[in-house]
Copies of this chain bind each other. A is one copy, B any other.
């Protein structure tokens, strides 16, 4: 929110690259383990901080699993939602203008302001269905 100076450090770059190389959702802990394995020296707290910052800037998508874990994925620009596979974590970005209109209409009807919405679809993809 507050436009603080944000320095592009080695660690932040590493997190961004790790996300960019994979189209799936990953948890902060997965990313940390992966980076450590690749030889990148980075602390867990720093991974969380980097992801938090990227999320604030709108550079990553975040979804929350049923057991309360946050998953991060490099983000395309613009507002959209996800169809996520419970098995492999593969995600399909989806858009639904109708849903957007519906959300704003419902909110207006009930006099709600400053409205946000979450729409996530979880399922099992073809590959994981075997």
- Contact surface of A with B, Cβ cutoff 8 Å: 64, 68, 83, 85-86, 92, 94, 96, 98-99, 102-103, 106-107, 110-126, 129
Q: Min CB distance, A92 to chain B, in Å?
A: 5
Question: What number of copies of this chain does the assembly contain?
Answer: 2
Q: Min CB distance, A66 to chain B, in Å?
A: 8
9 A-B pairs with least C-beta separation: A112-B123, A115-B123, A111-B126, A117-B121, A68-B68, A114-B124, A119-B119, A118-B120, A116-B122
Q: Min CB distance, A32 to chain B, in Å?
A: 19
Partner of A64, one of B68, B94, B125: B68
Chain B's closest residue to A96 (CB) is B102
